[in-house]
């Protein structure tokens, strides 16, 4: 490939702000088919250190599975209250939560040690009718 073609692989106009179920504000989406047409999933990321104590989204559902991914170097850098189908869980990062399509969910950050502190929502848009990923 020539340099000009290679440069097209680098996407700098991210994130795109998109509306999403349960969210009152537009959500920063860093990766989707708008960035690269071959991508069949979306990755949104929110700096939860700016949202302590108040939920980013109301309890909502999606027609595809979503993965919450709370990344941190140290255990407990992010502590959040997770709501899955009306059940409440206290969760510390690092943690990955698989949310089946149609399952009501939301989370509320209680503490975030670092700023910024990104929490990812990965939408598996290519999965239809998936119901579980329980281990
Ligand atoms: Zn969601």
**What dihedral angle (degrees, nearest 10) is formed by the CA atoms of 80, 71, 43, 49?**
50
| DSSP type of residue 23 | B
Residue 135 has pLDDT above 80, yes or no: no
**What dihedral angle (degrees, nearest 10) is formed by the CA atoms of 110, 115, 116, 122?**
-30
Take residue 42 and report the two structure tokens written for it.
């979306």
* Architecture, CATH, for domain 3-123: Sandwich (2.60)
Q: What is the pLDDT of residue 21?
A: 85
Tell me: the pLDDT tens digits for 64-88? 999 999 999 899 999 999 999 999 9
Q: How far is the CA of 3 from the centre of ligand 1 (A)?
A: 39
User: Which has the closest alpha carbon to 109: 51, 60, 24, 67?
Assistant: 51
What whole-number distance in Å separates Cα of residue 24 and Cα of residue 98? 23
Q: How far is the CA of 37 from the centre of ligand 1 (A)?
A: 22
Q: How far is the CA of 91 from the centre of ligand 1 (A)?
A: 16
Tell me: the pLDDT tens digits for 22-81? 888 899 999 998 888 888 999 999 999 999 998 888 999 998 999 999 999 899 999 999
Q: How far is the CA of 11 from the centre of ligand 1 (A)?
A: 25
Q: What is the pLDDT of residue 37?
A: 83
The pLDDT-based confidence of 120 (bands split at 50, 70, 90) is: very high
What whole-number distance in Å separates Cα of residue 33 and Cα of residue 31? 7
Q: What is the pLDDT of residue 123?
A: 94
Higher pLDDT, 94 or 9: 94
């Amino acid at each position: 490939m020539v340099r000009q073609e290679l440069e097209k692989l680098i996407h700098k106009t991210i994130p795109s702000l998109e509306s999403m179920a349960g969210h009152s504000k537009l959500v920063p989406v860093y990766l989707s088919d708008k960035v690269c047409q071959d991508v069949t999933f979306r990755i949104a990321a929110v700096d939860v250190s700016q949202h302590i104590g108040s939920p980013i989204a109301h309890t909502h559902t999606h027609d595809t599975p979503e993965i919450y991914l709370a990344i941190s170097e140290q255990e407990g850098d992010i502590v959040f209250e997770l709501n899955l189908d009306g059940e409440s869980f206290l969760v510390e990062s690092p943690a990955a939560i698989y949310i089946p399509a149609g399952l009501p969910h939301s989370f509320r950050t209680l503490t975030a040690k670092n700023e910024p502190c990104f929490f990812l929502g990965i939408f598996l848009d290519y999965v239809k009718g998936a119901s579980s990923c329980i281990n």
